[in-house]
A and B are shown apart, each in its own frame.
Chain A
Amino acid sequence: MSSEAWLRRGIAAASGLLFGLGLILGGMTNPLKVKAFLDVAGAWDPSLAMVMGGAIAVGMLAFAQARSQRRAWSGDNIDIPSSTVIDWRLIGGGLLFGAGWGVGGFCPGPALVALGSGSAGALWFVVAMLAGMMVYDLR
């Protein structure tokens, strides 16, 4: 195994760890807080808009840098999605995802973090999410 492959994995693991810590600190791994954000007709908790705002503020800088940087630190090409297609699949997928997000209070990242912490609820959710992914991908 080449040292580049291990560098690539080390960067990915560090990024995943930091991402997970950010989700915990931001309140995303608490399904009731997520639902309080989505519950605009009840006692609304706008906290998660701050999570999105903080992440996008840094993200904009990162993507601006990525446009001027030729290669990633691992030596790989920087792969930014090029699709601009807006179709019913994009919208339908968002609607299905959102409906499930509102029912459980979990989206994929926080569900994995909660699973790592030993949450039984997250285990039910993640197993079903993996099944749902394959139902769509292998249809």
Chain B
Amino acid sequence: MITIDWSAFTPWHSAAGGVLIGIATAIFLLGDGRIAGIAGIVASPWRSIVTRQWQSLDWTRVAFIAGLLAAPWCWRLFAPLPSTAVDVGPFMLVFAGLLVGAGVRMGNGCTSGHGVCGLSRFSLRSLVNVLAFMGAGALSVFVLRHVF
């Protein structure tokens, strides 16, 4: 039986946030001709840096990342930022980061590339990946919160 936490539910803010993400995806797609998948946008220039292939460093992707990093500063001009507090320590965050980094490269996308872009274009391949990460995410939270 699922119990919905109505006091935490923020349907309108979350839907509006989703619409902004959709508009950003549309701008990147129709403006630059590219998929706004964050995993790929990060991995490509990072790989160029690690392998010192400076001529292949894609400044368009770097510009997108700069926009992401600047977003909280822009937000702070108008309103206080929501909490980014975590409930696990550095060791678990490093473990989580390693899993996410390797997983999004192995599966070729994350919540944005497969989730938003893939489902928006009715890709069965993306749906399979989304079901896998949603299921594993729910299982991982279940184990951490209700088993241990």
Contact = CB atoms under 8 A, between A and B. Distances in A.
B13 A25 contact: yes
A15 B27 contact: yes
B19 A103 contact: no
Interface string B117-129: 1111101110011
Contact of B134 (A98, A129, A131, A135): A98
A103 B2 contact: no
B56 interface: no
B2 A44 contact: yes
B68 A112 contact: yes
Interface string B86-123: 11101011111111111111111011101111111101
A61 B16 CA distance: 16
B17 A26 contact: yes
Majority secondary structure, A binding face: helix
B36 A115 contact: no
Interface residues of A, number: 117
A31 B86 contact: yes
| B9, B15, B18, B104: most-surrounded residue (chain A CB, <10 A) | B18
Contact of A76 (B17, B33, B104): B33
A75 B30 CA distance: 10
Contacts of B125: 83-86, 90
Nearest to B82: A30
Given A80-B121, A84-B125, A138-B50, A94 B84 contact: no
Given A97-B136, A133-B43, A116 B71 contact: yes
A99 B133 CA distance: 7
Contact of A101 (B98, B121, B140): B140
Nearest to B117: A59
B134 to A, nearest CB: 6
Contacts of A128: 93-98, 101
Interface in A40-94: 40-48, 50-63, 65-66, 69, 71-74, 76-81, 83-86, 89-94
B128 A91 contact: yes
Contacts of B14: 25-27, 47-48, 50-51, 54
Contacts of B96: 100-101, 103-104, 106, 125, 128
Interface string B36-79: 10110011001100110000000111011111111111111000
Interface of B: 2-5, 8-11, 13-36, 38-39, 42-43, 46-47, 50-51, 59-61, 63-76, 81-88, 90, 92-108, 110-112, 114-121, 123-125, 128-142, 144-146
